[in-house]
Amino acid sequence: MASGYPAIKTEGLTKKFKELVAVNDLGLEVKKGEVFGFLGPNGAGKTTTIRMITGLMYPSSGSVLVNGEDIAHHGLQMRKSLGFLPERVGFYPNLTAEQTMEFYCDLKGQSRDQVRPLLHRVGLLNFAKKKVNTFSRGMVQLLGFGQALIGEPDLMILDEPAGGLDPYWIRMVKNAILEAKNRGATVFFSSHILGEVEEICDRVAIVNQGILAAEDTIDNLRKHMEMKPRLWLQMTSVDENAVNVASSIDSVTNVQVTGNWIMIECDHELRMDVMNALKEKGYQILDFRTEEPSLEEVFLRFTRRAEGGQTR
Amino acid sequence: MTLDINWKGMLTVVKKEFIDSVRNKWIIAVTIIFVSLALLVSYFGSAMQLGETGFQGFLVTIVLIMAISVLLVTMIALMLGYGAIATERERGSLDLLLTMPITRTEAVVSKFIGLATVLFVSIFVGFGLAGIVIAAVAGAADFPKYLLFLGATFMVGLAFLSVAFLLSTVTKRRSTAMGGAVLLWFFFILIYDIVLIGVFVATGGDLFTPGSSLPDWYYAAELFSPSSAYGMATSLMLGGNASEILPGFVNGFSTVGSLLAWILIPLVIAIWVLNRRDI
């Protein structure tokens, strides 16, 4: 296996559908052995990007390199070590879950011995002999995930792996992703739900309207966005003057009032200063709480503009 | 470039396509239709011409079966093939199939071979079983010709299967592919001949005076229709006066060549299109 090259690298990746530019000059780099979250609102171009990386769609311009090799010429090579879960995965209605897994094991040249353990893993062992056309959407999704695990692939590309799953199975998917990482695999997956990715991703990319908005670790993204933790104080009364007092302190970036709560955006070290300043002016603090900025907010900042304030 | 074909992967798809037709009872239904059709036609078909029923020899049986098999086999081939790619695309299984370690060309060819096997088995088992009954009752004379006829029937089936694959590849939706299959069937089976005759009459041709015959260009045009090529190939094989009526260029080579072209060309175009298409 070629080393030193990134697992996935896209250069100027662009896809146009007539008038619409679904993916615009996208340059991503996914390192070997990392879990990479590919984030963005619905319709941002995530699935189109994934379809180009897996070779299902052809770029209008630009290229995809997997292990340093252009998939336009080495697509088969890439597919030999790929575990892929497409968006809205579908199977053959007449096959049972077991026959389905056996079919993909055969195609991948992998032993059928792993079929039952994998079905057990995704909770479908009791349904091994049931035809796929009797399955619910969530069961089909789980079977799709089980299929992507066949042969412990070096590269896993998962399009919305948690889609349609309840929290118990989302946990299973997360654990399986971390296990894949631990044996040295690279995992690239898309999501539009931030809670799903925050704890398992080494790095994330945020894409919006086909354009790469950010690519970094989650911590760096927070710093980059200058999003500071928030201090909420409940006081007997909150007036204009209290806002002025809080704002006058250096490096307080934002102050807002909701009822008798005042929200002050500042670094942790400044919190005592802020509270002392308010006390000196005679304000009595009844209660307080603190709030760390979540990836959700980072994400919203990047995507709000285009979404008109609404993100699902 | 090395020719590095994934035979194992291809065999997996061929087997799956074939076993699928067993699972959904397609192959069984079609085989039963073919057996009963051949037996019914052989037993009762001569009633109109000969005024009596009873199993006829193979030559008569072939003539009787051909009139119906050209309708039925072509229709079954279209039904088998129109969904080959379109259905998989619609249900999402194509995404997985084409991201397996198998090329798009290998995937399409394997699916074609798998469905061709379904046609082969249903034609040879269905008509073959009927042939055994006919041979037992009416004698085995001309059984080799019956086998040749089944071979030609298989070929016209493959030609329509190939056309169905092309339809399945170029259309976006399964329903469009199905509509296209229905139209194509009507075109080749009904409309093509009518239009040719119509053109002949409209250009001053004469069909009704005794001794009049169709011009060479008519037969040349008939060679371009797979179902007509099948009909002419069968007539030639049966002997009789077919070789006197048909112009010299309509012979074994040209009719079988036409069928081969119809088997290969649409399939090659389908592969070419699929290799360039976004999924």
State the Cα–Cα distance between residues B89 and A145, nearest whole angstrom.
19
A230 has pLDDT over 80: yes
**Cα(B15)–Cα(A220) distance, integer angstroms:** 52
**Percent of chain A scored above 90 by pLDDT?**
54
Give the residues across from A234 on adjacent strands. A261, A287
Q: For chain A, say whether B91 makes contact (Cβ under 8 Å).
A: yes
Q: Do B99 and A106 touch (CB under 8 A)?
A: no
- Is pLDDT above 80 for B34? yes
What is the dihedral sign for C-alpha A72, A75, A78, A82? positive
Here the tokens at position A209 are: 């309207």
Report how far residue A173's alpha carbon sits from residue A152's, in angstroms, rounded to the nearest whole number.
14
Q: How far is it, in rounded angstroms, from Cα A190 to Cα A21?
A: 19
- Split at pLDDT 50, 70, 90, the class of A226 is low
User: CA of A133: which chain B residue's CA is closest?
Assistant: B91
The residues near A244 (Cβ < 8 Å, ≥ 6 apart) are none
Distance, CA of A71 to CA of A8 (rounded, Å): 10
Indicate the average pLDDT of chain B: 89
- What integer is the mean pLDDT of B138-152? 87
Measure CA of the first residue to CA of the last residue in chain A; give whole Å: 40
* Cβ–Cβ below 8 Å for A92 and B93: yes
Identify the three-state secondary structure at position A56.
coil
The CA-CA-CA angle for residues A312, B279, B97, to 5°, reads 105
pLDDT, residue A3, reads 62
Beta strands in A115-240 (DSSP E): 155-159, 186-191, 203-208, 211-216, 230-235
Please tell me what DSSP assigns to residue A292. P
Q: Is A140 within 8 Å of chain B by CB?
A: no
Contact indicator for B115, B109 with CB cutoff of 8 Å: no
Contact list in B for residue A107 (CB cut-off 8 A) is 9, 12-13, 97, 100-102
Cα B11 to Cα A222: distance, rounded to the nearest angstrom: 52
Cα–Cα dist A295/A46, whole Å: 18
On whether any CB of chain A is under 8 Å from the CB of B118, the answer is no
- How many C-beta atoms surround the C-beta of residue B156 within 10 A? 26
The answer to whether A56 contacts chain B (CB < 8 Å) is yes
Whether residue A90 and residue B93 make contact (CB cut-off 8 A), yes or no, is yes
Residue of A nearest to B107 (CA): A107
Within 8 A of B13 by CB-CB distance, chain A residues are: 107
**β-strand A82-85 against A155-159: which pairing, if any?**
parallel
Residue B112, token pair as written in the block: 């074609």
Asked if residue A20 has pLDDT above 50, the reply is: yes
Selecting from B12, B20, B92 the residue whose C-beta is nearest the C-beta of A86 gives B92
Q: What is the pLDDT confidence band of residue B74, given thresholds at 50, 70 and 90? A: very high
How many angstroms separate the CA atoms of B144 and B58, rounded? 9
Whether B103 sits inside 8 A of A106 (CB atoms) is no
Quickly state the pLDDT bin for A300 (edges 50, 70, 90).
Answer: confident
Compute the distance between CA of residue B5 and CA of residue B23 in angstroms, rounded to an integer: 28
Cβ atoms of A93 and A132 within 8 Å: the answer is yes
Mutate to test the interface with B, among A74, A88, A103 (most CBs of B within 10 A): A103
Is the confidence at residue B213, as pLDDT, over 80? no
> B25 CB near a chain A CB, below 8 Å?
no
Query: Does an H or E element contain B37, and which?
Result: helix B26-44
Q: Is B100 in the A-facing interface, judged by CB distances under 8 Å?
A: yes
Q: Smallest Cα–Cα separation from B24: which of A100, A90, A131? A: A131
Site of tokens 């989650």:
A218
Share of chain A above pLDDT 70, in %: 91
pLDDT higher than threshold 70 for residue B2: no
pTM here is 0.86
Residue A306 tokens read as 């285009």
Task: Report chain B's terminal Cα–Cα distance, integer Å.
Answer: 26
Lookup: tokens for A142 = 């789980």
Give B127 or B3, the one with higher predicted confidence.
Answer: B127
